[in-house]
Amino acid sequence: MKIAVVILNWNGKALLEQFLPSVVRYSENATVYLADNASTDDSVSFTSETYPSIRIIQNKSNGGYARGYNEALSQISEELLVLLNNDVEVTHGWLDPVERIFTAEQDLWAAQPKILDYKHRDTFEYAGAAGGYIDKLGYPYCRGRVFGSLEKDYGQYDDIKEIFWATGACLFIRKEAFNAVGGFDEDFFAHQEEIDLCWRLKSKGGKIKYLGDVTVYHLGGGTLAAANPRKTFYNFRNTLLVLLKHVKGGKVWWLIFQRLVLDGFAALLFIIQGKPGHFLAILKAHFSFYGLLRKFKRKRKRWASDMPYYEIKSVVWKYFVAKKRNFNEL
């Protein structure tokens, strides 16, 4: 199976210096690409001079995660794609189990590895942990991570398990499947785009799995730190867009209304915490959502379905009211 490891980068030279060595060292059975989103630093020259084996794809602009990968992957022919953040350290033999399972299971369309924290290496990392799910209102959570609570890795998720969404920080996906559902939705720009992609994959009959026998270490916040209001904007807006695009029938409007109300409480909490930038980010997210309503109503006609998408009605209730902090307590 021909494998392409594709690293999307924007002004990340320092991260490339830190994390490319492990990728080059341990990806000997793959072709490594750097997909650069019109960086203004020395990312491209550093990579080409230091690692001549890495193939460079230069996008014309910074279209974010979604457009950046769409443009780059259209130029890549390998059958199995590994979309890898530029702040991920990989491990010896990491691609061997991936190649085996994708060869054996033709209905496996996408997967992710175990994601541990680069700085706290015995702890799951926020972006994906041990595989993702969403609740009825679209709140994402993971095995090993519920909101801000991160579990220690005791081997409790060393299994292989079907999940609802796989993290974009390290996403294994068949190119044929990626193309079949139209790639990433570029209206998301960044954040939640992998949930939207995985929802479309599953609606077409594909399976998505967590591979607990593959481990990588993710630094996190390489492009937008958690404290950045821009990240708050995308997370709040894009969750609304995901619900609107995929949940069939009139019930979607009741779900969206509930989310808008809960978003209001979150905005007030940011004010109380002295974080006006995040308060404004939520307001902007809502207005941006209203601006995209007509466009996403058209997308609903193709993608909305009755496919079951949640196992828990409210992870918010479980976490904040019932005080359930670990995935296995939900």
The phi and psi torsions of 77 (rounded to 5 degrees) equal: -105, -10
pTM, entire model = 0.96
Pick from 21, 23, 62: which is nearest to 39 by CA?
A: 62
Count of other CB atoms within 10 angstroms of residue 201: 22
End-to-end CA distance of the chain: 38
For 3-218, CATH number out of 3.40.50.720, 3.30.43.10, 1.20.1260.10, 3.90.550.10 equals 3.90.550.10
Read off the tokens for 124.
Answer: 């799951």
84 contacts 7 by C-beta, under 8 angstroms: yes
Spatial contact of 40 and 115, defined as CB atoms under 8 Å apart = no
Alpha carbon separation from 219 to 160, 165, 206, 238, 256 (Å, rounded): 23, 20, 29, 23, 32
Say if CB 165 and CB 63 are below 8 A apart.
no
- Residue 14's CB: how many other CB atoms inside 10 A? 14
Phi, psi of 289 (to 5 degrees): -60, -45
Query: Rounded CA gap, 193 and 119, in Å?
Result: 26
CATH 3.90.550.10: which residues of the chain? 3-218
Rounded distance, CA 31 to CA 150, Å? 33
The confidence score (pLDDT) of residue 226 equals: 59
Task: Report d(CA 55, CA 35) in Å as an integer.
Answer: 9
Radius of gyration from C-alpha coordinates of the chain: 19
Angle, helices 251-272 vs 229-246, to 10°: value is 170
Asked if 165 and 133 touch (Cβ cutoff 8 Å), the reply is yes
3-state secondary structure of 151: coil
Read off φ and ψ for residue 130, nearest 5 degrees: -115, 35
Handedness of CA 85, 83, 4, 57 (dihedral sign): negative
- Per-block mean pLDDT, blocks of 10 residues, the chain (330 long): 97 98 97 97 97 97 95 98 98 98 98 98 97 98 97 98 98 98 96 97 98 96 68 96 97 97 96 96 98 98 96 96 96
Whole-number pLDDT of residue 190 = 87
What b/e sequence results for 279-301 when a residue is b if at least 16 CB atoms lie within 10 Å of its CB, and e otherwise?
bbbbebbbebbeebeeebeebee
